[in-house]
Amino acid sequence: MSTLIFLLCIAVALGVLGRTLYRRFVVLTKVVNVPRFDEIPERIKAVFVYALGQKKFVSPDQPKHDKGAGWMHFFIFWGFSILAVQVIHMFGRGFFPGFTLPGLSIDLLGGPYGLLKDFIQIAVLVSISYAFYRWLVTHPKRLYGFAPAEDKLLGQSHGEALLILGFIATIMISGYVYDGGHLWAHEGADIEKERAWQPISSFVGKLFYDAGGPGLAETASNTGWWIHNLIILVFMNLLPISKHFHIITSMPNVFFKKLEPAGQLSKQDLETSLSFGTSYINQFTWKQVLDMYSCTECGRCSSHCPATISGKELAPRQLMINLRDYLYENEDAVMQAPELAADAQEPVTVGINIVGENLIHDDVLWACTSCRACEEACPVLIEYVDKIVDMRRHLVQEEARFPAELTRTFKAMETQGNPWGVDASSRGDWAEGLDIPTMAENPDAEYLYFVGCASSFDDRNKRTAQALVKVLKSAGVSFAILGSEEPCNGETARRIGNEYLFQSMAEMTVEVLNGYSVKKVITNCPHCFNTLRNDYPQFNGNYEVVHATELVDHLIQEGKLEFNVNGEQSITYHDSCYLGRYNDVLEAPRNILKSIPGVSLKEMERNGRFGMCCGAGGGRMWMEEDADKRVNLLRVDQALETNPDKVAVACPFCMTMIDDGLKARGKEEEELPALDIMEIVADAIK
């Protein structure tokens, strides 16, 4: 009878689970398709590194406040993975007493596995205890939510998290009860061996045996078996309807990760598309929906987001939760949505326009600096920035609804070819008297120095371009500039969501560069660097693009640059998001500073991949910001904690934000200057 009851429980549980998973899968087939089945070996590698290796949890360079929780998750994950064998054994023994998987008998690998299982259960219980402590005692904002962006999350009950933790703890304890009772309810040579290999389970079973003999041990074992298996059946049906769906979807989400460069946005088909951006729930791609399924609400994304930290309305976690919840509410409608006809004149939409007052407020989208700190922190590789830019594309191209100050920016780019709105004919004025050849004068130059708008038009950043020229000349590098021929590459327009403007500017820039048969490009602006390197191949712009810090680091290693000794100075370096997180240029700037005699490099607490944004990316450079919500002030405060003599940057946008932030904190240039690394190098070379 008990076997039939257990079989019925399994049938019901699998039936309910199967129906739920089927519906979720159908939704994936009903939204926008994207190709993610290429480069299978690379995708398998990602699963081993991020899913199985838990890289985002145990990386040594992650912030200190994340490390404890990271190791907690590591042991829970691997505990469950190792104990999966025990789960199979316990389910199998509901039908075949004494069932073991091949090779796991006590005379083969069963003994060592029993020992491992015994101690991994303890590790899981310790980890669960730490999780309970965080939820019930310390109450970290990362779990409960950040105000004001996550007020909705803050107001929700977190009983589900405690229930899941309770389930996991009960699974561990009932496993000990089952195994321990079994070890003392029976006698025999094999049982004696099992007791020796499972000291903790044996200790638990001995308690029952001493209290009531083999009969109580047998009863305890049977009770532990039922509790363990029923919780497993309930647990697996709770997963798809809770934030713990990530237990099922995280590995697929990692497998289907974005393999294109992190800094590359999708190229929009402006000629045949029926919509120009994302504004309905079924307009997201199936990978973006899988992201929604995979969010575990851990809050790592929001805890690293400069918009969230500075008190703006954006929190990546709340954004993902809102999208996921709305998707679940409209699951039936998405599943029933008709296929798009070949001759359709209008897109197929489901539900309401989610962008605006209904769900995702405009201010949420415009708060994003596109720094990708959220994506760097996410353990399951959820992609946030692409979704935000897709929704911005809808606002700009379909609704013409964006912050008022961007009207001026767009007009300047359209009429003057740069977001500063300065007369384009003056683009090369910064180079007067420096004797720099143009590509028209020297088309055989090894490198094109693509100066960019900031260093061409902004007085403070012109000094960086002039410093780089001094360095290149000192090292004997063959280079030329475009001068007044240099167009804006359109980076700002693409990140803001004006894809049409970006594509027209990109095509113009590629035409100019290809007209000179450019092969190698130097930039000192990470935004130009990222766009030319990662976006332009979409427009037949294929160049070897290097950032100035990469080239100068190489020149120093080759002995082509030598430095004077200018005395001791401590310098803290601010990582540009588009240089570091986006393009992995992390060591070159530091190598340069360390190679200068007398320089002592002081790292901020948030540095490298986890460095904090200056606040200028994603078009924020051109938008107004409330005085009490300025990201650059938070970053400057972090720099000041190191008590430096100078603050080094490697980006013109960062220069503007850090320089302004230092002045706002009462630090004038003479007292504590913000300097581009090229200025520091130019000042130190012989």
Model pLDDT for residues 599-657, shown as the tens digit of each residue: 999 999 999 999 999 999 999 999 999 888 999 999 999 999 999 999 999 999 999 99
Q: Which residue spans within 220-351 are E strands per DSSP?
A: none
pLDDT digits (tens, 9 = 90+) for 283-326: 999 999 999 999 999 999 999 999 999 999 999 999 999 999 99
pLDDT at position 63, please? Answer: 81
Q: Are 681 and 596 in contact (CB under 8 A)?
A: yes
User: What's the rounded mean pLDDT across residues 368-385?
Assistant: 96
* CA pair distance 169, 128, nearest whole angstrom: 7
pLDDT at position 188, please? Answer: 87
pLDDT at position 642, please? Answer: 96
Rounded to the nearest integer, the mean pLDDT of the chain is 94
pLDDT digits (tens, 9 = 90+) for 575-615: 999 999 999 999 999 999 999 999 999 999 999 999 999 99
Cα-Cα-Cα-Cα torsion 83, 87, 88, 93, nearest 10 degrees, comes to: 130
Both tokens of residue 640? 């000041």
Residues 6+ apart with CB under 8 A from 524: 451, 452, 455, 464, 465, 468, 547, 548, 650, 652, 676, 678
pLDDT at position 344, please? Answer: 74
User: What's the rounded mean pLDDT across residues 87-100?
Assistant: 91
Percentage, residues of the chain above pLDDT 70: 100
| C-alpha distances in Å from residue 268, one per residue of 37, 397, 539 | 20, 12, 12
pLDDT digits (tens, 9 = 90+) for 168-223: 999 999 999 999 999 998 888 888 988 999 999 999 999 998 999 999 999 999 99
Domain 417-538 architecture: 3-Layer(aba) Sandwich (3.40)
DSSP 47: I
Q: Which residue spans within 133-274 are E strands per DSSP?
A: none
* CA pair distance 327, 27, nearest whole angstrom: 9
Topology of the domain comprising 281-405: Fumarate Reductase Iron-sulfur Protein; Chain B, domain 2 (1.10.1060)
> In 3D, which of 672, 630, 632 has the Cα closest to residue 651?
632
pLDDT at position 98, please? Answer: 85
Q: Are 646 and 598 in contact (CB under 8 A)?
A: no
> In 3D, which of 265, 290, 467, 253 has the Cα closest to residue 381?
253
Q: Are 523 and 493 in contact (CB under 8 A)?
A: no
Flag whether pLDDT at 340 surpasses 80. no
Q: Give 555-684's CATH code, choosing from 3.30.1380, 3.30.420, 3.30.1490, 3.40.50.
A: 3.40.50
SS3 164: helix
* CA pair distance 269, 265, nearest whole angstrom: 13
pLDDT at position 679, please? Answer: 97
pLDDT digits (tens, 9 = 90+) for 526-583: 999 999 999 999 999 999 999 999 999 999 999 999 998 878 999 999 999 999 999 9
pTM here is 0.94
> In 3D, which of 433, 506, 442 has the Cα closest to residue 470?
433
Flag whether pLDDT at 107 surpasses 90. no
Per-residue pLDDT band at 158 (split at 50, 70, 90) = confident
* CA pair distance 315, 299, nearest whole angstrom: 9
